[in-house]
Structure 1
Amino acid sequence: MSHMKILRGSLARKLFELPAQNAKSKSNLAPRVLVRTFATQPAPAVDTKYLTSPYGEVQVGSESVTEFVYRDIELWADKPCVTCGVSGRGYDYQMMRLMVDRCAKALIAELKMAPGDRIGLILPNLPEFVSLIHGAMHAGLVVTFANPLYTADEVRRQFMDCGVKCIATIEMFMPVAKEVCKHLKDYKGTIWVGGEDDKANGIHGLRALLMADHKADLPDLNADDVSLIPYSSGTTGMPKGVMLTHKNLVTNLKQAQTPKMMKYEGEKGKCDVVLTVPPFFHIYGFNGILNYNLTLGYHVVTMPKFTPDDYIRCLVEYQPTTLFVVPSLLAFLATHPQVKKEHLQCVETIMVGAAPTTDSMLEKFLLKCEKTKDQIKLLQGYGMTESSPVTIMTPYEYPYGKVGAAGQLVPSTLARIVSLTTGENLGPHKSGELLVKGPQMMKGYWNNEKATRETIDSDGWLRTGDVAYYDEDHYFYVVDRTKELIKVKGNQVSPTEIESVIMEQPEVADVAVVGITDALAGELPKAFVVLKPNHKLTEKQVYDLVASKLTKYKHLEGGVAFLDAIPRNAAGKIMRNELKVLGGKKH
């Protein structure tokens, strides 16, 4: 760690000189494999109406997210908090907490933001992401974040829907921010991470904001206040804003850290090193990885962009004990010739998130690092943006026979498996739709009561759109999806969104998009297009249209096919399973 730059101490040492981040700058959670006797596991609760967690209850969160994350900071104030694995730039916990406080006051005093106002982040994984998102929440603001790879149209649609009044970004994405802010009502200004003030154009450099030491009264926060609005397609349709409260997020952290589930059963401050790539602008990356590890005093090493060389260098330099990955990254570790077994000897735990992985890939990884199933823990779980995100996790110790299970219900969480045809509750080993309920469930969809009612019933049960079953020990296995969502390398892709772009073409009479199986990506979008009589379009024209409007992982890499008609049922709904069969596999 010779050149790691963890910033400590007072502001007098130019603590906020952040380089511009440009080319020159250097809700399935995952499988765990353990061999322990099942007798150590709590007996599952039995109820004819629903299943309850074998781990009991947790106290529902009453603190704000920021208060909870930093509540034990005095135990590790001088320890490294978050570090950029590419540039080496980082901050210790004391400095990060100071940055959070100063950011909160600057948002109120300088940008004139008020509690309840929305701020939009267009940021990759950077240490400053932490100060901005927690600074905003500490000021009573509501955060929404966008994938930095989104086009200006995609960001504009989200930020206009959410009513964003301020954007924070880096130099690379400043053109998108400048274009989007033209369409935002009562816009207050843009925060430039790594840049300088340009007050004439409403641009505030983050360093200047933090150095100014603004004076402002921070609001008293209510745990039921909405703090975060990530966007998700839910079970179907266009992306919708998911309203998550402080209580939702804090409760989910408590649920994941309950004894028998968390890594060290209450042992904090070990300063373990965590290397993570999954983006903080997803709920899994933000609450499931970033917040989870900060509450334990761990050192989070992250990367703004994945490259094989940088990732391997981080393995060598930082010697992480825990890796948070997505299936494609696990495949890289298991199969890439540059990754050697010595690179993985420090690793004790791997959490695979955002999408399912296969048993064969897990076996390849164990073979690569020459470790056995009791030398390295491969962790798994299940969740959604709408559930903050975790509802099901494997406990830290569980029998080898449960490999492949998503896990058991986390504390204070209920579940039902219901028949897809009759809606009745089903017993063990019978597949149906998974419904969940608990204090981590969202408040609802932003400005979309209809979608909220379709997703959460009057008794508070959230329909996941996933087909699952549970065994006699109440371990859950997710086997299919009833929802239309396509998962590309863990990224959510809404078929409706792609279909709406294709329908803009005057030559198109009808269209349907489905995900087809791909060995590396999991799924790839494929479009089936019906043309109007006497009209022509080529596959390339359709592909290029989508590529010009949407971010890369939404491109039609699965192909384009032309049909005489889209198969639909009597109610007019697209029969996507028929199209998947027709589409076949793409390798």
Structure 2
Amino acid sequence: MLRLLKEATSTFGLARFGFRCTTSIPRRCAPSFSTQPATGYERNIVESPYNVDIPKLCVTDYIFHEVDRAADKPAVTCGSSKRSYNYGMIYEMTRRMAHALLAQKGCAMRPKEVIGVLLPNIPEFVPALHGGLMAGLTVTFANPLYTPEEICRQFDNANVRLVITLPVLLPVAQIYKTKAKKYRGTVCIGGKHNFEDNVFGFQQLLMEDHRVELPEVDPEETAILPYSSGTTGVPKGVELTHNNLVANLAQGTHPEMNKYCRPEFAGCTETILTIPPFFHIYGFNAILNSVLKSRNHLVSIPRFIPEDYIQCLLEFRPNFLFVVPSLMLFLATHPKVTADHLSSVDTLLVGAAAASIQLQEKFKQKCGREVDIAQGYGMTESSPVTLCTPYKYDLSKVGTCGQLYPNTKARIVSLADGSNLGPHQPGELHVRGPQIMKGYLNNNPATRETLDDEGWLHTGDVAYYDQDGYFYIVDRTKELIKVKGNQVSPTELENLILELPEVSDVAVAGIADETAGELPRAYVVLKQGQSLDEQVVIDHVKGRVVKYKQLAAGVMFVKEIPRNAGGKIQRHQLHLLGAQLDD
């Protein structure tokens, strides 16, 4: 095993990460929907027609339970470098990483402390993150394309003590090191030990003999801290426990929701190609963890490069694709993607945003045949899935995002009087279930605004359900902008623009875009007697945020920002204002 481990982890190179510039057994182990009686305050509560048993386990133990039975099956592969690990190897790497994080002299962590993972989609993401969870640590992860300022802001808020990253991103970790309190060290995947700078090579850590007893992990403890803007405001740390993650994975094992849990697929191993990032809750729990749990073969690439993705379609012949609408549009319209490229694909699952019926039809036309297209709905705050179309469902349910996930309840709340509404009446969607977050890290006001005393998560989305319990998202009350499935906080951009001394007031809203879904646009009010060029505003934001947050829809200078009596920005009026100015 040591020899195999050394060979498997010795082929690192920066270009292979997509940046162009063991078999040990874990130590621990279609009915119709219903509404509650229409009496009292709790009338019109919609309940999932499905239920599953949810074990109380560390999420890593749940995923790798009885992994020795699949030790030789391929687990994760980098579609760019072709670096690949089977289930036995990936579990052994995870176990060794857990020991190293607790025992390595110079950077030994203590249970419940936080590590920051700064990685693209590479196979080593699994032992990096799950090694931390197995060691009883909390893990936060960030987009490696974020600016150093964005990364440091998140890691500081989460109180990160150790960072796991790549050689090309070491300078960012070193910037954070100068700001952090009680910083333990940096683990570098593809690097070597550098004790002077407190940097530890990933391969060397796994090869060394670290003798330490791993702790028993309390499933009620916070496992991960992804960052989300929720329904409004700047990004906040979402406390998701092991129970939350395990619950959402277990919910996804119901045979009505997951074809791999159906008798006709028992024992098979399919190849699944994915691009949504593992540092997003959709990519992490709904894709990476669920595929590992089902013992299928997950292929991904560190960064979306069209030629690389198209080559993966030909080389790996995937049966199943995880996509976002912008990728689905690429597959449906790009001239280099042919029906032959998609000939092996029988199922797509669309996440992060809704795929229109027109887009689904375009994709099927490209394939030249019927393909199962599933859709879902969720939030970071719900681990993430709360709604999903069943494995087979009535195709007349045009535009649905599915039925309630097992063990989940929902209600549609009137925006006028707060009452619970019945079928075909739109209102704000509230959901409740075992996958709902613990709360926002060190932010009780934001937690109370989103999660009420009865455990209902207020999603900020306007929806309705039909007589069969299928839900439809029709609008958003929340302020977030969705760019290619990525969350963009208007508040974050507004705070940056207000740093410009010429600006008196500002509001940011999303403008519809066929490819991206939405693009951010700023509406700026200047101080009296001041002038400012649009490009100055764009460049000021550009230097501070990742590309998808930039003001791609431009800047408009206006006389005033529409606000209500309480001073809150009325973003729906911004859209009307923008349309008038465009004309």
* TM-score, normalised via structure 1 length: 0.94
Q: Are 2:404 and 1:406 aligned? A: no
Q: CA RMSD in A?
A: 1.5
Report the AA paired with residue 552 of structure 1: K
Q: State the 1:583 CA deviation.
A: 1.9
Q: Are 2:110 and 1:114 aligned? A: yes
Out of 249, 273, 277, which is 1:275 matched to? 273
- 1:136-176 Cα distance to aligned partner (Å, 9 max, x none): 00000100000111101101111000000000111222221
Q: State the 1:21 CA deviation.
A: 2.5
- 1:444-498 Cα distance to aligned partner (Å, 9 max, x none): 0000011111111111111000000000001000011100000000000000000
- Find the aligned partners of 2:500 and 2:329 in 1 and give their Cα distance: 38
Greater alpha carbon shift after TM alignment, 177-186 vs 142-151: 177-186
- Find the aligned partners of 1:509 and 1:443 in 2 and give their Cα distance: 38
Asked if 2 retains the 8 angstrom alpha-carbon contact of 1:18 and 1:207, the reply is: no
Q: Are 2:104 and 1:104 aligned? A: no
- Aligned residue for 2:240? 244
Report the AA paired with residue 535 of structure 1: Q
- 1:47-73 Cα distance to aligned partner (Å, 9 max, x none): 132434343332233011111111131
Counterpart secondary structure, 1:127: coil
- Find the aligned partners of 2:220 and 2:355 in 1 and give their Cα distance: 35
Asked if 1 retains the 8 angstrom alpha-carbon contact of 2:48 and 2:408, the reply is: no
- Aligned residue for 1:19? 12
- Aligned residue for 1:169? 165
- Find the aligned partners of 1:173 and 1:358 in 2 and give their Cα distance: 37
Q: Are 2:180 and 1:184 aligned? A: yes
Distance 1:354 1:135, change over 3 A: same
- Find the aligned partners of 2:55 and 2:533 in 1 and give their Cα distance: 55
Report the AA paired with residue 413 of structure 1: T
Q: State the 1:402 CA deviation.
A: 1.2
- Find the aligned partners of 1:423 and 1:115 in 2 and give their Cα distance: 43
- 1:192-217 Cα distance to aligned partner (Å, 9 max, x none): 11111111001111001101131111
- 1:266-324 Cα distance to aligned partner (Å, 9 max, x none): 45542210000000000000000000010011000000011111111101111100001
Q: State the 1:257 CA deviation.
A: 1.2
- Aligned residue for 2:376? 381
Q: Which of the pair has the greater relative contact order for Cα pairs under 8 Å at 6+ separation?
A: 1
- Aligned residue for 1:397? 392
- Aligned residue for 1:43? 32
Q: State the 1:74 CA deviation.
A: 2.2
- Aligned residue for 2:350? 352
Report the AA paired with residue 163 of structure 2: I
Asked if 1 retains the 8 angstrom alpha-carbon contact of 2:45 and 2:420, the reply is: no
Q: Are 2:495 and 1:508 aligned? A: no
Q: Are 2:206 and 1:210 aligned? A: yes
Q: State the 1:357 CA deviation.
A: 1.3
Asked if 1 retains the 8 angstrom alpha-carbon contact of 2:18 and 2:303, the reply is: no
- Aligned residue for 1:223? 219
- Find the aligned partners of 1:24 and 1:292 in 2 and give their Cα distance: 23
Asked if 2 retains the 8 angstrom alpha-carbon contact of 1:268 and 1:296, the reply is: no
Counterpart secondary structure, 2:412: strand
Unaligned runs of 5+ in 2: 20-29
- Aligned residue for 1:300? 298
- Aligned residue for 2:23? none
Q: Are 2:461 and 1:461 aligned? A: no
- Aligned residue for 1:74? 68
Q: State the 1:431 CA deviation.
A: 0.4
- 1:556-586 Cα distance to aligned partner (Å, 9 max, x none): 0011011111111111111111111222399
Report the AA paired with residue 17 of structure 1: S
Out of 323, 326, 348, which is 1:325 matched to? 323
Report the AA paired with residue 246 of structure 2: V
Asked if 2 retains the 8 angstrom alpha-carbon contact of 1:125 and 1:302, the reply is: yes
Counterpart secondary structure, 1:549: coil
Alignment of 1:480-495 (within 5 A): 480-495=475-490
Q: State the 1:11 CA deviation.
A: 3.8
- Find the aligned partners of 2:13 and 2:295 in 1 and give their Cα distance: 28
Counterpart secondary structure, 1:344: coil
- 1:234-263 Cα distance to aligned partner (Å, 9 max, x none): 000000000000000001001111121111
- Find the aligned partners of 1:229 and 1:50 in 2 and give their Cα distance: 33
- 1:503-551 Cα distance to aligned partner (Å, 9 max, x none): 0111111000000101100000000001111111100000000001111
- 1:36-57 Cα distance to aligned partner (Å, 9 max, x none): xxxxx31111213243434333
Runs of 4 or more consecutive aligned structure 1 residues displaced over 6 Å after TM superposition: 23-26
Q: State the 1:13 CA deviation.
A: 5.4
- Find the aligned partners of 1:486 and 1:294 in 2 and give their Cα distance: 31
Asked if 2 retains the 8 angstrom alpha-carbon contact of 1:61 and 1:223, the reply is: no
Q: State the 1:233 CA deviation.
A: 0.2
Distance 1:209 1:574, change over 3 A: same
Alignment of 1:351-370 (within 5 A): 351-370=349-368
- Find the aligned partners of 2:2 and 2:269 in 1 and give their Cα distance: 19
- Aligned residue for 1:135? 131
Count, aligned residues: 562
Report the AA paired with residue 228 of structure 2: S
Asked if 1 retains the 8 angstrom alpha-carbon contact of 2:272 and 2:299, the reply is: yes
- Aligned residue for 1:64? 58
- Find the aligned partners of 2:559 and 2:89 in 1 and give their Cα distance: 62
Asked if 2 retains the 8 angstrom alpha-carbon contact of 1:53 and 1:408, the reply is: no
Distance 1:299 1:12, change over 3 A: closer
Asked if 2 retains the 8 angstrom alpha-carbon contact of 1:106 and 1:209, the reply is: yes
Unaligned runs of 5+ in 1: 1-7, 27-40
Q: Are 2:340 and 1:342 aligned? A: yes
Q: Are 2:282 and 1:287 aligned? A: no
Counterpart secondary structure, 1:295: helix
Report the AA paired with residue 172 of structure 2: V
- Aligned residue for 2:469? 474
- Aligned residue for 2:24? none
Q: Are 2:529 and 1:534 aligned? A: yes
- Find the aligned partners of 1:213 and 1:443 in 2 and give their Cα distance: 36
Q: State the 1:10 CA deviation.
A: 4.5
Asked if 1 retains the 8 angstrom alpha-carbon contact of 2:2 and 2:207, the reply is: no
- Aligned residue for 2:314? 316
Asked if 2 retains the 8 angstrom alpha-carbon contact of 1:20 and 1:193, the reply is: no
Asked if 1 retains the 8 angstrom alpha-carbon contact of 2:46 and 2:411, the reply is: no
Between the two proteins, what is the percent identity of the paired residues?
A: 51
- Aligned residue for 1:5? none
Asked if 2 retains the 8 angstrom alpha-carbon contact of 1:124 and 1:279, the reply is: yes
- Find the aligned partners of 2:449 and 2:236 in 1 and give their Cα distance: 13
Distance 1:23 1:58, change over 3 A: closer
Q: State the 1:9 CA deviation.
A: 7.9
- Aligned residue for 2:152? 156
Distance 1:351 1:12, change over 3 A: closer
